[in-house]
Structure 1
């Protein structure tokens, strides 16, 4: 009988440990996105916070940052105890989706406070030119395959982090009549983008500002 009681207590302890690890939620998880580019197969993502939640080293199997970025990432961790790599990358992916979708729709007002002025101007000019030509984008972010910190720097209290995104995007351009003039929703194209974010670690604002976007060659 004593052995049974002991085994029961051990099982209870293990169960509680599993719950504490697996049951914890960060509040920044994304809805799973289906791979097919078919719009009917897409899962509508829930609204995500536009804030860049500062990044702990600890990734789930994938590399969180390139080795060359390691020293600067560790410096940022030392300078800001709230900096968490995994959380930062989740926030970066949410921002990537939010900004891209705002640009595709030509509705950039909602991202003004999260994008640097010259980046916002570039997005706005491109959207305005598209509208002038009578074109609309019917794009879908099918999946973000990987997000990894490619570069990082810390100057005094200002941290700059560049994230490399590998994503599958189904892109379609339509004319005024709604006819497809370029692209296809049935085929997703893999893209590689480099987005750079900046934050003053001494500031109370936890948000990271998007200061540069580029395509990886």
Structure 2
């Protein structure tokens, strides 16, 4: 009987120790425990939420990616050039072929190119001109610069600004887009001989200059720059 009592007490003590060890490891239930995750119940809940989603929820529009055609660009062309005119058809043809073409950015780039070309010619800067002109126009500019240098003449120029730059014609020639602009600018310019005497122009007078320049760009090229391919001076 004593042995039985001793064994009973021994196992009782062991059970109490094990109970407290489990309690320390697992903790106590408070009634606020998170229920175990049931993937099947979660899936059914998601399906139910989707079915109850209001139909009047409007998704935000997708942002237009760079280079994607914009319908308003065609509208802008119609607003700029009267439909069924040569200019309108030419601009639309360029836009159809080169979706990244935008009339306003083209005009702004042409005006910047015009100023750079005028000043580079006056300074005899062949390197700058080579990057902006077609081979034929470049050869003509360089020939005039060489003739001037041979006579020891120099051009003194100051670019005042551009009053107007209107697109007067546009067309596609194969894969090459051509844009012709009539440019009215103001320039102070005088040519001096080797002795410094003024032989052309006026170093103190702002003169109005009217030019018709044609720019071209290969629509298949990644190069966004337009090159001057033809020049004409208006009276």
Bin the TM-score by the shorter chain.
0.5 to 0.7
Q: What is the aligned partner in structure 2 of residue 120 from structure 1?
A: 138
Unaligned runs of 5+ in 2: 1-72
1:79 paired to 2:97: yes
In 1, distance between residues paired with 2:88 and 2:176?
Answer: 17
State the number of aligned residues. 159
Q: What is the aligned partner in structure 2 of residue 34 from structure 1?
A: none
CA displacement 1:77-96 (0-9 Å, x = unmatched): 22222111111111001110
1:154 paired to 2:172: yes
Q: What is the aligned partner in structure 2 of residue 25 from structure 1?
A: none
Does the 8 A contact of 1:65 with 1:149 survive in 2? no
Map residues 99-178 of structure 1 onto 2, 5 A cutoff: 99-178=117-196
* DSSP 3-state at the match of 2:169: strand
In 2, distance between residues paired with 1:164 and 1:65?
Answer: 15
Unaligned runs of 5+ in 1: 1-55
Q: Tell which structure's C-alpha radius of gyration is larger.
A: 2
Q: What is the aligned partner in structure 2 of residue 91 from structure 1?
A: 109
Q: TM-score, normalised by structure 1?
A: 0.67
Q: Using a 3 Å threshold, how does the CA distance of structure 1 residues 187 and 84 change in structure 2: closer, same or farther?
A: same
Q: TM-score, normalised by structure 2?
A: 0.62
Higher normalized helix content (fraction of residues): 2
Does the 8 A contact of 2:121 with 2:129 survive in 1? no
